[in-house]
């Protein structure tokens, strides 16, 4: 609510419109999120998550400017009990609501932030449970089901899966990469990728570099000019042929070959496109790479994130129960 005065200098209360709150939040997204350099996907996520909160407020006849901490707690309970969201999802949604109100407080529209101090439920799962990955022989199995028929499509698919499974790139990083993202240092080839909060160069092995170069030469053979602004990975087909491949398109490619190799669903494990990133981290540590090297390869800002991969391998290989001399 905002204070105003009438002709008799008597203070009156004027409600803050939702449109104005959204305008202030939009300014916050543009200026403050990621120090003013947020990715478009991040901004879309913020707007989508906030919209859900506003719809909840409307359903419960609560004007967002009048919400109190108990209202935000009720929203949290609705997400837990009714929507049954996971703690990580609730944490994201509450963070957006908190920032929505913080923007209004900093603008002087509200006196306090009603979402401040409202915490998400604790994550009850072991963080290592989220790590699903392929064994070395399974990576070979996955690559073997990709036809080598000389087509742009199959050459592209082989390059994408090899880079994700062995170098640990994210789908969004390959989606964003352009021809200008290629980096040459001597005989070495790499890809400059833009991650969540940083830009790094992913060094390609000679074998992966050869696959990528073959794919690009096939594109050139069709008459395409590989100009710097052109996407590194393109969609293939009548509708979107030649356009930048979408993140969803990359996930569909990975799922297609996982199903073909009978690796997608197995008892106790489901593999996704993101599992290929876990595969790269897990297999790299298992092969003797240092933790710092893997952290740099995957672009982790916090080494504790990389340590999860070490924990996954250590859990099975160094299980204390293996040392017990007991017949069962």
pLDDT number for residue 35: 57
Asked whether the beta carbons of 120 and 90 are under 8 A apart, the reply is yes
pLDDT number for residue 7: 47
Q: Which residues pair with 200 in a beta bridge?
A: 193
Give the pair of three-digit tokens for residue 10: 């008597």
Which SS3 state, helix, strand or coil, does residue 200 take?
strand
Asked whether the beta carbons of 205 and 193 are under 8 A apart, the reply is no
Q: How far is CA 151 from CA 41, 55, 215, 230, 236, in A?
A: 31, 48, 8, 19, 10
Over residues 18-64, the pLDDT tens digits come to 899 999 988 888 887 655 566 677 778 889 999 999 999 999 999 99
Of 280, 298, 295, nearest to 136 by C-alpha is: 280
Residues 137, 120: Cα–Cα separation, whole Å: 40
- Active site residue: 75, 133, 215, 309, which one? 309
Whether 14 has a pLDDT exceeding 80, the answer reads no
Whether 154 has a pLDDT exceeding 90, the answer reads yes
- Active site residue: 99, 158, 170, 278, which one? 170
- Active site residue: 196, 244, 260, 286, which one? 196
- Active site residue: 200, 247, 274, 286, which one? 274
Asked whether the beta carbons of 41 and 172 are under 8 A apart, the reply is yes
pLDDT number for residue 126: 64
- State yes or no: is 196 an active-site residue: yes
Residues 184, 311: Cα–Cα separation, whole Å: 35
Residues 178, 249: Cα–Cα separation, whole Å: 16
What's the mean pLDDT when you consider all of the chain?
89
- State yes or no: is 98 an active-site residue: no
Mean pLDDT of 149-177: 96
Instruction: Please report how the helices 247-260 and 152-167 are oriented relative to each other, as an axis angle in degrees rounded to 10.
Output: 90
Which SS3 state, helix, strand or coil, does residue 262 take?
coil
- Active site residue: 156, 158, 175, 277, which one? 277
N-to-C CA span, the chain: 70
CB contact set of 225 (below 8 Å; sequence gap of 6+) = none
Whether 317 has a pLDDT exceeding 80, the answer reads no
- State yes or no: is 20 an active-site residue: no
Whether 232 has a pLDDT exceeding 80, the answer reads yes
Q: Which residues pair with 201 in a beta bridge?
A: 192
pLDDT number for residue 183: 97
**Overall pTM > 0.75:** no
- State yes or no: is 175 an active-site residue: no
Residues making up the chain, counted from first to last: 328
* 319: confidence class by pLDDT, cuts 50, 70, 90: confident
Asked whether the beta carbons of 282 and 136 are under 8 A apart, the reply is no
3 state SS for 88-127: HHHHHHHHHHHHHHHHHHHCCCCCCCCCCCCCCCCCCCCH
Domains and CATH numbers, the chain: 2-124 (1.10.150.130), 130-317 (1.10.443.10)
Q: Which residues pair with 191 in a beta bridge?
A: 182, 202
């Amino acid at each position: 609510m905002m204070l105003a005065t009438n002709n008799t200098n008597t203070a009156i209360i004027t409600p803050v419109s939702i449109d104005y709150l959204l305008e202030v939040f939009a300014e916050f997204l543009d200026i403050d999120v990621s120090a003013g350099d947020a990715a478009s996907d991040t901004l879309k996520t913020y707007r989508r998550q906030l919209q859900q909160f506003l719809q909840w407020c409307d359903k419960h006849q609560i004007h967002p400017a009048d919400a109190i901490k108990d209202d935000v707690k009720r929203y949290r309970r609705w997400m837990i009990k009714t929507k049954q969201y996971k703690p990580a999802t609730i944490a994201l949604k509450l963070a957006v609501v908190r920032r929505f109100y913080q923007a209004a407080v900093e603008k002087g529209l509200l006196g306090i932030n009603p979402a401040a101090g409202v915490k998400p439920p604790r994550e009850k799962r072991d963080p290592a449970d989220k790590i699903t990955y392929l064994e070395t022989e399974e990576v070979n199995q996955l690559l073997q089901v990709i036809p080598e028929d000389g087509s742009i499509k199959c050459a592209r698919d082989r390059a994408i899966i090899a880079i994700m499974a062995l170098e640990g790139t994210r789908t969004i990083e390959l989606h964003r990469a352009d021809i200008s993202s290629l980096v040459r240092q001597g005989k070495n080839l790499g890809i400059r990728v833009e991650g969540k909060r940083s830009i790094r160069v992913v060094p390609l092995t000679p074998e992966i570099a050869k696959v990528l170069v073959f794919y690009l030469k096939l594109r050139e053979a069709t008459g395409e000019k590989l100009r710097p602004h052109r996407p590194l990975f393109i969609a293939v087909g009548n509708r979107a042929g030649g356009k930048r491949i979408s993140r969803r398109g990359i996930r569909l490619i990975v799922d297609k070959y996982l199903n073909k190799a009978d690796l997608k669903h197995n008892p106790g494990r489901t593999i996704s496109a993101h599992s290929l990133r876990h595969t790269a981290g897990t297999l790299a540590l298992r092969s003797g790479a240092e933790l710092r090297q893997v952290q740099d390869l995957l672009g982790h800002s916090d080494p504790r994130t990389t340590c999860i991969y070490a924990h996954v391998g250590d859990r099975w290989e160094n299980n204390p129960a293996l040392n017990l001399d007991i017949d069962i």
